[in-house]
Structure formats: C-alpha cells, structure tokens
Structure 1
Amino acid sequence: MKVIYHCFGGSHSSVTAAAIHLGLLPRDRLPAAAELMSLPYFDARSLGEEGEIKYMGIDPYGNNVYAAGKKNLGSRFEALLYDLATALGLPRQELLLLNTSPFVNRLMVLGGFTSRRLGMTTPGRPIVILGTRRAYFQLVEFVDQHRPLWEGNRR
C-alpha cells in the first residue's frame, strides 16, 4: 500500500504525520525542535516543489509512506491521485490518501509562510515549530485513527 499524507505545502503537518506513522517521532511526548528539524523535508521544501510526492520511508507492514503538498487543489488532489492510480491499473485500495490540512493552525500558517514563502527561516522556523508542537497530539490521534486501514491483514 502507498500511504500519502498531504497538506498545503507538504513541509509541516504532512511530514510530521508521516514521521509519526513511521515511528520517527515519539507518540507519547512532544518532540523537541531538533527532532522536528531532523526530519526529511520538514520546513525544507522550496517554491515549486508543491505537488511533489516525497518518499518518507517504509513502515513495519511493508507500506510505503509519503508526504505531499497540494497547494490550492483541495479535494481535487485526492480525486486526481485516485484517478491516476486507476488509469495506471493500480487497485484503489492500494492507495491511502490522508489529509492533514485540518490540523494546520495559525502559527503553522504564519511560520510556514515566513519560512518557506518569504525565505525568512530565522523568524519563521521557531513559529512553525511552535505551531507544529501545538498540533502534535492531534496528528498522533489522526495517525492512530487510520492505523487499521494500513495494518489490515499485513501482520
């Protein structure tokens, strides 16, 4: 199965959720800023990389996990990917798209815009890290709620 976490820019909530899924971040405590910054693609995408699906790793069940930015596509992003999978002959049930956008708070928007869009990482990163930490346990819960969909009979 391909599990794709997606949000607006693909740099923060989707990367964090994918890292939780893969066990790269703790489930029982807030990650330190350094732990977030050590994640591949966290606050690291450049303008124009939205829409790129970035490989994050493989989980213990053999599922490939990705993070993606969809910019302004909204729900059309999922429709596009499901239609593409069908066109390529991939079974729809082998693709799991998980939208992390509802967990993006104002601090994440402000910090992400400042850091990624304006290129001002010194003021932007601490703000986006604070926002990510505030949303963290919601992301843990979101990942846990969807766990049965990728665990299935793959044990």
Structure 2
Amino acid sequence: MKVIYADYWGSYISVVAASIHLGILEEYDEEKIRSIKGFGENNFSKLGELIFFAEDQKRRRIYILGVKKSGRIAERALNGISKIFGLGKNDVDFVDLYIYENVFTKMGGFLSQKLCFKSAGEKLVLIGIKKNFNKLKNLVHKMKEKPLR
C-alpha cells in the first residue's frame, strides 16, 4: 500500500501532511515544520516526481508529489498506471491537498520558488499552513485510520 500526498509544489503542504501521518508533527509548530526534511526544498524541476518520504507503522510507503493544479489529472494517470501493471485500484491512495492551499500558501510558494525570496515566501506559506492545520490534520488522521486493503 502506498499513500501519495500531493500539493502544488510538493514541498509545503504535502510535507506537512506526510509528517502528520508519520507522527512527526502533532500540532502546529513553526520551528519543527521548518526543520522537516523536504520542507521548501522541491522546486519547479521536481514537479511530477514521486518522492519517497518514509514508511509508516503499518508499512505503508508515504510519498510526496508536486502537481501544480493538476492533482486530478495526476490521480487519473496513477490509477491508469496501477491498472496497466496489475497493482489494483486499492494499492495507492492519492490525496490531493490543493483544497488546503490559500492565498498565503500560494503567494508564499510563488515568492519562495519563483522569485527566490525564500525567507519571506516561507513565512507566508507557514501562515497559510497554520490557518488550515487542523483541517489538514483531520484529513490525514482519516487517511491513517483507513484499513489496509
């Protein structure tokens, strides 16, 4: 079983979601988020690349993925690939986190990734993550509670 957390860049919300999933992050903590491996690291060249994050307690492999605004397209493609290679529809859980983007995460990601204003951009991203942290945490906990198939 694999879980793929996807967001615009694959380096902000998806990294936080994967960290919540693994128990690394239980509550919003700016310093802890900044120190998480992969936070703010991916850039335009990594879009579309599945990046292994870690394995959880149930031996599910957790991945992050940057998809820009194409989460639904990426999900359909992954489901098609799974079908072609006989992996089964239930072998991959794709979690599109685009709905957790907001004006702060969008502007912060743009400043950080496109204009190379990393410090200012990440401050905005963190404000955006803080605004949606509890909703994101609830989604991730529902994902973790799903029975293995």
TM-score by length of 2: 0.93
> Is 2:8 the counterpart of 1:8?
yes
**Residue 153 of structure 1: how far off its partner (Å):** 5.1
Runs of 4+ aligned structure 1 residues displaced above 4 Å come to none
1:37 aligns with 34
**1:74-89 paired onto structure 2 within 5 Å:** 74-89=71-86
Aligned with 2:67 (options 70, 91, 97):
70
Identity %: 28
Distance 1:8 1:36 in 2: 17
Cα deviation for residue 74 of structure 1 reads 3.4
Q: Show structure 1 runs of 5+ residues with no match.
A: none
Name the Cα RMSD after superposition.
1.4
AA of the residue aligned to 1:112: G
1:73-124 deviation per Cα after TM superposition (whole angstroms, max 9, x unaligned):
2311100011111112212211110111101111011111100111111211
3-state DSSP class of the match of 2:5? strand
Q: What is the one-letter code of the residue matched to 1:107?
A: F
Go from structure 1 to structure 2 and tell me whether the alpha carbon gap of 1:153 and 1:42 turns closer, same or farther (over 3 Å shift).
closer
Kept in 1, the 8 Å contact 2:2–2:61? The answer is: yes
Aligned to 2:99: 102
Q: How does 1:117-132 map to 2 (within 5 A)?
A: 117-132=114-129
Q: Determine which of 55, 61, 68 is the counterpart of 2:52.
A: 55
Give the paired residue count: 149
- Aligned partner of 2:130 among 130, 133, 146: 133
Pair 1:20 & 2:20 matched: yes
Structure 2 gaps, min length 5: none
